Structure 1
Amino acid sequence: MPNPRSSHDRHGYDHHHVGGHDHDHSHLPVVTEDNERKILLSFLIIFAFMFVEAVGGYLSGSLALLADAGHMLTDAIALGLAYAAFRLGRRAADGQRSFGYARFEVIAGFVNALTLFGIVAWVLYEAVERFQNPGPVLAGSMFVVALTGMLVNLFVLWFLTRGDSDHVNVKGAVLHVMGDLLGSVGAIVAAGAIWFTGWTPIDPILSVLVSLLILRSAWSLLKNTLHILLEGAPANASSSEISEHLRAAVPGLQNASHIHIWSLTSGRVLATLQVQPADGADIRHVIGQVEHELKTKFQIEHPTIGIDWDGNAGCSLDAPGQAMAAHTGHAH
């Protein structure tokens, strides 16, 4: 005889063990007003000086400064996406967008990655032209702009690392600014070499090196955003790894199947799966342990767990020893 609490209670029961829709997000980074303020101010400074460096590169004839301005654009993009993620993350989900607007960050990142490839192509084309037809470079102007850029990046780096710097978006911004700092130092060295030796080919050579930094950032951004948009699993949470770990770590679990893992956006991982408890196992305890392992071992924010009832007529739903009639199919 079917359990009178069958479909509705089983559905509620499954979600009760993943938080009853009051999910525990304590493992997620805390978005503070201080984080938002740091990211916004850093974005405004970097974005504004990017134009200064681009104009300085054009007036001084330095392709290295123009390339470094492109690198600063990658920093501005990273900071802008981080701030957008903070702000859009506050918008409530609705009936049409049950996950809210979190994926906006991924879509914007994908578009920006394609833009960066275009910048790299232009810089490389200009570098080849400079090698074939060298032009004058105003080393003094180049040095002043590059030195100012280094000071700007040092200030932004200092500002970002004050106080709470554990948030994933803040950490990412720090890495971008450090990369741009290296580009500014390189431009200073090139300006000095041109000033003392007059050897202008170092300028397009340096621009190619900076372009490689941009290309590396663009490729990483494109690869990561495409992986998320294609519903790819995080590197540490493949379906086979999860299945093997759960069977070894959860007593009373016979099998875990139909495992699907995907990232909603950077740092937010979701999963659905079905578990088959062993005969006589306490299902509530098994589900609770599975949820615990998914959250602590694989950092899965929202696991949705269904129960495979096949061949488990002796399993207990409410308490050990309470018999349950066999039910063919999957309850979710």
Structure 2
Amino acid sequence: MHGGGSTGTAGARHARRLALALALTATYMVAEVVGGLVTGSLALLADAAHMLTDVGGLALALLAIRFAAREPTSVRTFGYLRMEVLAAMANAVVLLMLTVYILYEAYQRFLSPPEVLSGPMLLVAAIGLVVNLASMFLLKGGSSESLNVKGAYFEVLSDMLGSIGVIVAALLMMWKGWSLADPLIGAGIGLFIVPRTWSLLSQVIHILMQGTPPNIDLPTVEDRLMSVPGVLGVHDLHVWTVTSNFDVMTCHLLVTDLALSRETIRAARRIMRDDFGVQHTTIQIDDEALKAEEAELHV
């Protein structure tokens, strides 16, 4: 088992910022519902529904961090570290579903533009923009370290875009009387979310499929391991990601002298740590006889 909880994971380091972003988002969501009901703005009410999914996403992110902090067991030897990745996947799926909803609503409003109080609508959206920018500032640093925080950051980013869209629509309705501004801008927001969400989902799927981390080039790893004195070959080399900033490597090294196994393992671990940032390694040392025996077992 990989001992010790995961309180030091990238997501856990930003738990406090996630909690603050959750509080800001939930508070503004309530204000937006009230504003939508008072002004009769379907745009604000739809954005409030959008905010509701973000509240759920941020709460899910915090829940994932709590689960990830649990100690490993004999059944789950890596503990609950993958909860971060699963939470990020859930966030990505929700965002894609939300995009479909936004495009549907934009279509409905294009057919029948709603009449709203554009002045109060503008005020509520402006407050929302400030809240979203504050939440983005809280989460931006962690979004480059943790997929979980990255998913939450994208949800807040999509909210920020929603606020900007509502502001622009309100201004166009106030100054130009253009009622179609709301559905057209809504559709643009929905389409803008898609590539970023797809990128996040692709990263999550790559991790769940135990793909090689993007920063690791396996031929380079093999070349560096082959440079260790006494190493004749490298086989069964695998590098994958358990959760954000937690990569794992396993391999077999074919050596000339089993008596030098300790020195060989130390050198290989040092290469993986210093050159590739991989701290968790499992290295099996083989000679020609052991390799032949292993080949027979796999026949």
Give the TM bin, normalised by the shorter chain: 0.7 to 0.9
- Match of 1:219, SS state, is helix
**C-alpha distance in 2, partners of 1:22/1:97?**
11
- Match of 1:259, SS state, is strand
Contact 1:67 1:207 in 2 (8 A): no
Q: Sort the Cα spacing of 1:167 and 1:119 in 2 relative to 1 into closer, same or farther, 3 A.
A: closer
- Match of 2:124, SS state, is helix
2:249 equivalent to 1:276: no
Q: Sort the Cα spacing of 1:254 and 1:87 in 2 relative to 1 into closer, same or farther, 3 A.
A: same
**C-alpha distance in 1, partners of 2:225/2:243?**
25
Q: Sort the Cα spacing of 1:229 and 1:166 in 2 relative to 1 into closer, same or farther, 3 A.
A: closer
The alpha-carbon deviation at position 271 of structure 1 amounts to 1.9
* Structure 2 equivalent of residue 8 of structure 1: none
2:89 equivalent to 1:106: no
**C-alpha distance in 2, partners of 1:136/1:203?**
10
**C-alpha distance in 2, partners of 1:198/1:253?**
76
* Structure 1 equivalent of residue 191 of structure 2: 212
TM-score (ref. length: structure 2): 0.79
- Match of 2:225, SS state, is helix
Q: Sort the Cα spacing of 1:71 and 1:287 in 2 relative to 1 into closer, same or farther, 3 A.
A: farther
The alpha-carbon deviation at position 41 of structure 1 amounts to 2.1
Structure 2 letter corresponding to 1:50: M
Which of these residues, 277, 281, 287, is aligned with residue 303 of structure 1? Answer: 281
Gaps of 5+ in 2: 295-299
Q: Structure 2 matches for 1:39-50, cutoff 5 A?
A: 39-50=18-29
The alpha-carbon deviation at position 195 of structure 1 amounts to 0.9
**C-alpha distance in 1, partners of 2:53/2:229?**
48
Contact 1:254 1:277 in 2 (8 A): yes
* Structure 1 equivalent of residue 266 of structure 2: 288
* Structure 2 equivalent of residue 128 of structure 1: 107
Which of these residues, 212, 226, 242, is aligned with residue 264 of structure 1? Answer: 242
* Structure 2 equivalent of residue 37 of structure 1: 16
TM-score (ref. length: structure 1): 0.72
Q: Percent identity?
A: 36
Q: What count of residue pairs does the alignment treat as equivalent?
A: 290
Q: Sort the Cα spacing of 1:54 and 1:259 in 2 relative to 1 into closer, same or farther, 3 A.
A: farther
The alpha-carbon deviation at position 281 of structure 1 amounts to 8.6
* Structure 1 equivalent of residue 117 of structure 2: 138
* Structure 1 equivalent of residue 222 of structure 2: 243
Deviations, residues 199-235 of structure 1 (Å, cap 9, x unaligned): 0211111111221233234322322222222222211
Which of these residues, 184, 207, 212, is aligned with residue 228 of structure 1? Answer: 207
Gaps of 5+ in 1: 1-19, 312-325
Higher relative contact order (CA 8 A, sep 6+): 1
The alpha-carbon deviation at position 59 of structure 1 amounts to 6.1
Deviations, residues 4-63 of structure 1 (Å, cap 9, x unaligned): xxxxxxxxxxxxxxxx9779x9x965945xx43222121122134235435645764656
**C-alpha distance in 2, partners of 1:304/1:74?**
41
My pick for the range that moved more, 53-62 or 147-156, is 53-62
- Match of 1:168, SS state, is coil
- Match of 2:76, SS state, is coil
**C-alpha distance in 1, partners of 2:123/2:15?**
31
Q: Sort the Cα spacing of 1:81 and 1:253 in 2 relative to 1 into closer, same or farther, 3 A.
A: farther
Deviations, residues 211-269 of structure 1 (Å, cap 9, x unaligned): 12332343223222222222222112253342234335x34432211012222122221
Structure 1 letter corresponding to 2:244: S
Q: Sort the Cα spacing of 1:53 and 1:310 in 2 relative to 1 into closer, same or farther, 3 A.
A: farther
Contact 1:157 1:178 in 2 (8 A): yes
Q: Sort the Cα spacing of 1:22 and 1:225 in 2 relative to 1 into closer, same or farther, 3 A.
A: closer
* Structure 1 equivalent of residue 297 of structure 2: none
My pick for the range that moved more, 127-136 or 61-70, is 61-70
- Match of 1:97, SS state, is coil
